Amino acid sequence: MTESRTDAAGLRRRTRELLAAHPPATTDRLDFLRARFDAGLAWVHYPEGLGGLGAPRSLQAVVDAELAVAGAPDNDPRRIGIGLGMAAPTILQYGTEEQKRRFLRPLWTGEEVWCQLFSEPGAGSDLAALGTRAVREGEEWVVNGQKVWTSSAHLARWAILIARTDPDVPKHRGITYFVCDMTDPGVEVRPLRQITGEAEFNEVFLTGVRIPDTRRLGEVGDGWRVAQTTLNNERVAIGGARLPREGGMIGPVAETWRARPELRTHDLHQRLLTLWVEAEVARLTGERLRQQLVAGQPGPEGAGMKLAFARLNQEISGLEVELLGAEGLLYGDWTMRRPELVDFTGRDAGYRYLRAKGNSIEGGTSEILLNIVAERVLGLPAEPRTDKDVAWKDLAR
Amino acid sequence: MSTPTDLLYSEEEEAVRAAVRDLLTDHCDAAGVIKRGESDAPHDLSLWKSLTEGMGLAGLLIPEEYGGQGAGHREAAVVLEELGRAVAPVPYLTSAVVATEALLACDAADLLAELAGGRRIGVLAVGLHTAPGAGHTTARIDDGALRGELTGIADAVAADVLLVPADDGGLYAVEAGAATVTPQVSLDLTRPLATVVLDGAPARRLGDAAPAVRRALRAGAGLLVSEQLGLADWTLTETVRYLKERKQFNRPVGGFQALKHRLAHLWLEVAHLRAAARNAADALAKGQDTDVAVAVAQAYAAPVAVHAAEEALQLHGGIGMTWEHPVHLYLKRAKADSIAYGTAGAHREALAALVDLQAP
**Domain span at A276:** 227-378
Instruction: Let me know if residue B170 belongs to a domain.
Output: yes
Q: Which of B6, B261, B297 sits opposite A370 (nearest CB)?
A: B261
**CB spacing of A264 vs B360 below 8 angstroms:** yes
**B280 three-state secondary structure:** helix
Strands B161-165 and B140-142: unpaired
Rg over CA atoms, chain B: 20
Domains identified in chain A, total number: 3
Whether A303 and A347 map to the same domain: the answer is yes
Q: Could you read off the pLDDT of B284-297 as tens digits, one per residue?
A: 999 999 999 999 99
**A209 three-state secondary structure:** strand
Q: Which residues of A touch B351 (CB under 8 A)?
A: 273, 276-277
Q: Which of A269, A371, A373 sits opposite B359 (nearest CB)?
A: A269
Longest pairwise C-alpha distance within chain B: 74
In A, minimum Cα distance to B265 occurs at A370
Q: Which residues of A touch B251 (CB under 8 A)?
A: 381, 384
Name beta bridge partners: A211.
A141
Whether B200 and B216 map to the same domain: the answer is no
Q: What's the CATH code of the domain at A252? A: 1.20.140.10
Q: Is B247 on the interface with A (CB under 8 A)?
A: no
Q: Give the confidence band of A298 by pLDDT, cuts at 50, 70, 90.
A: confident
Whether B230 and B341 map to the same domain: the answer is yes
Residue pair A180/A158 in contact (Cβ under 8 Å)? The answer is yes
**CB spacing of B255 vs A258 below 8 angstroms:** no
Q: Which of B272, B299, B351 sits opposite A285 (nearest CB)?
A: B272
Distance from C-alpha of B24 to C-alpha of A113, rounded to nearest angstrom: 58
Q: Could you read off the pLDDT of A240-253 as tens digits, one per residue?
A: 557 899 999 999 99
Whether B277 and B177 map to the same domain: the answer is no
Q: Is B298 on the interface with A (CB under 8 A)?
A: no
In A, minimum Cα distance to B350 occurs at A273
Q: Give the confidence band of A293 by pLDDT, cuts at 50, 70, 90.
A: confident
Q: Give the confidence band of A47 by pLDDT, cuts at 50, 70, 90.
A: very high
The alpha-carbon gap from A139 to the nearest alpha carbon of chain B, in Å, equals 45
The alpha-carbon gap from A155 to the nearest alpha carbon of chain B, in Å, equals 37
Task: Out of B192, B208, B224, pick the residue that ends a domain.
Answer: B208
Residues of chain B with pLDDT under 50: 1
**CB spacing of A379 vs B240 below 8 angstroms:** yes
In this predicted structure, what is the pLDDT of residue A212? Answer: 98
Sign of CA dihedral B241, B245, B251, B253: negative
Whether A362 and A272 map to the same domain: the answer is yes
Distance from C-alpha of A351 to C-alpha of B90, rounded to nearest angstrom: 53
Interface test with B, best of A257, A262, A292, A380 (most B CBs within 10 A): A380
Task: Out of B152, B181, B208, pick the residue that ends a domain.
Answer: B208
Interface test with B, best of A373, A375, A376, A385 (most B CBs within 10 A): A373
* Mean pLDDT of the region A205-232: 95
Q: Which residues of A touch B301 (CB under 8 A)?
A: none
Q: Which of B257, B263, B278 sits opposite A378 (nearest CB)?
A: B263
Nearest Cα to A210, choosing from A270, A161, A283, A275? Answer: A161
Interface test with B, best of A260, A378, A385 (most B CBs within 10 A): A378
In this predicted structure, what is the pLDDT of residue A341? Answer: 77
In A, minimum Cα distance to B268 occurs at A304
ipTM: 0.95
Res. A294: pLDDT tops 80: no
The upper half-sphere exposure of residue B118, i.e. CA atoms within 13 Å in the direction of its Cβ, equals: 21
Instruction: Let me know if residue A214 belongs to a domain.
Output: yes
In A, minimum Cα distance to B351 occurs at A273
Residue pair B175/B121 in contact (Cβ under 8 Å)? The answer is no
Q: Which residues of A touch B359 (CB under 8 A)?
A: 264, 266, 269
Q: Is B360 on the interface with A (CB under 8 A)?
A: yes
Whether A197 and A269 map to the same domain: the answer is no
Nearest Cα to B223, choosing from B134, B93, B349? Answer: B93
Residue pair B97/B340 in contact (Cβ under 8 Å)? The answer is no
Distance from C-alpha of A283 to C-alpha of B238, rounded to nearest angstrom: 28
Whether A232 and A351 map to the same domain: the answer is yes
Q: Give the confidence band of A239 by pLDDT, cuts at 50, 70, 90.
A: very low
Instruction: Let me know if residue B360 belongs to a domain.
Output: no
In B, minimum Cα distance to A301 occurs at B271
The alpha-carbon gap from A198 to the nearest alpha carbon of chain B, in Å, equals 33
Residue pair A125/A182 in contact (Cβ under 8 Å)? The answer is no
Q: What's the CATH code of the domain at B188? A: 2.40.110.10
Q: What residues have CB less than 8 Å from B281, skipping those under 6 apart?
A: B73, B74, B76, B77, B222, B223, B225, B226
Q: Which of A261, A281, A377 sits opposite B275 (nearest CB)?
A: A281
In this predicted structure, what is the pLDDT of residue A236? Answer: 55
DSSP B233-247: HHHHHHHHHHHHH-E
**Domain span at B75:** 4-120
How many CB pairs lie under 8 A apart between chains A and B?
Answer: 125
Whether B104 and B144 map to the same domain: the answer is no
Distance from C-alpha of B132 to C-alpha of B215, rounded to nearest angstrom: 8
Q: Which residues of B touch A259 (CB under 8 A)?
A: none
Q: What residues have CB less than 8 Å from A286, skipping those under 6 apart?
A: A239, A240, A241, A242, A243, A305
The alpha-carbon gap from A269 to the nearest alpha carbon of chain B, in Å, equals 6
The upper half-sphere exposure of residue A176, i.e. CA atoms within 13 Å in the direction of its Cβ, equals: 24
Instruction: Let me know if residue A92 belongs to a domain.
Output: no
Q: Give the confidence band of A397 by pLDDT, cuts at 50, 70, 90.
A: confident
Whether A195 and A231 map to the same domain: the answer is no
In B, minimum Cα distance to A295 occurs at B8
The alpha-carbon gap from B114 to the nearest alpha carbon of chain A, in Å, equals 37
Q: Which residues of B touch A308 (CB under 8 A)?
A: 268, 272
Instruction: Let me know if residue A320 belongs to a domain.
Output: yes
Res. A363: pLDDT tops 90: no
**A173 three-state secondary structure:** coil
Q: Which of A233 and A61 is assigned the larger pLDDT?
A: A61
**CB spacing of B267 vs A371 below 8 angstroms:** no
Q: Which residues of B touch A284 (CB under 8 A)?
A: 5, 7, 272, 275-276, 278-279
Domains identified in chain B, total number: 3
In this predicted structure, what is the pLDDT of residue A238? Answer: 43
Report how far apart, in Å, the C-alpha atoms of A313 and of each of A149, A236, A278 are: 21, 18, 11
Q: Give the confidence band of A345 by pLDDT, cuts at 50, 70, 90.
A: confident
Q: Which of A135 and A5 is assigned the larger pLDDT?
A: A135
Whether B239 and B332 map to the same domain: the answer is yes
In A, minimum Cα distance to B261 occurs at A370
**CB spacing of B275 vs A288 below 8 angstroms:** yes
In this predicted structure, what is the pLDDT of residue A344? Answer: 76
Alpha-carbon torsion, ordered B17, B20, B24, B26, to 10 deg: 110
Q: Give the confidence band of A1 by pLDDT, cuts at 50, 70, 90.
A: very low
**B201 three-state secondary structure:** strand
Q: Is B307 on the interface with A (CB under 8 A)?
A: no
Q: At what angle do helices A266-294 and B344-354 cross, to 10 degrees?
A: 90
Strands B193-202 and B204-208: unpaired
In this predicted structure, what is the pLDDT of residue A234? Answer: 67
The alpha-carbon gap from B260 to the nearest alpha carbon of chain A, in Å, equals 6
Whether B239 and B322 map to the same domain: the answer is yes
* Mean pLDDT of the region A314-322: 97
Distance from C-alpha of B253 to C-alpha of A210, rounded to nearest angstrom: 49
Q: Which residues of A touch B299 (CB under 8 A)?
A: 273-274, 277
Whether A232 and A131 map to the same domain: the answer is no
Q: Is B296 on the interface with A (CB under 8 A)?
A: yes
Whether B349 and B273 map to the same domain: the answer is yes
The alpha-carbon gap from A282 to the nearest alpha carbon of chain B, in Å, equals 6
Q: Which of B8, B268, B349 sits opposite A291 (nearest CB)?
A: B8
**A137 three-state secondary structure:** strand
Instruction: Let me know if residue A138 belongs to a domain.
Output: yes
Q: What residues have CB less than 8 Å from A336, skipping those under 6 apart?
A: A191, A193, A197, A198, A199
Instruction: Let me know if residue B129 belongs to a domain.
Output: no
Rg over CA atoms, chain A: 23
The alpha-carbon gap from B39 to the nearest alpha carbon of chain A, in Å, equals 37
Whether B229 and B343 map to the same domain: the answer is yes
Active site positions of A, annotated: 234
Q: Could you read off the pLDDT of A135-189 as tens digits, one per residue?
A: 999 999 999 999 999 999 999 999 999 999 999 999 999 999 999 999 999 999 9
Whether A331 and A356 map to the same domain: the answer is yes
Please report which residue ranges of chain B form alpha helices under DSSP H: 11-27, 30-37, 45-49, 73-85, 100-106, 109-117, 209-245, 257-286, 290-315, 327-337, 344-354
Distance from C-alpha of A344 to C-alpha of A320, rounded to nearest angstrom: 13
Q: Is B303 on the interface with A (CB under 8 A)?
A: no
Nearest Cα to B303, choosing from B254, B265, B329? Answer: B265
Strands B161-165 and B122-124: parallel
Q: Give the confidence band of A370 by pLDDT, cuts at 50, 70, 90.
A: very high
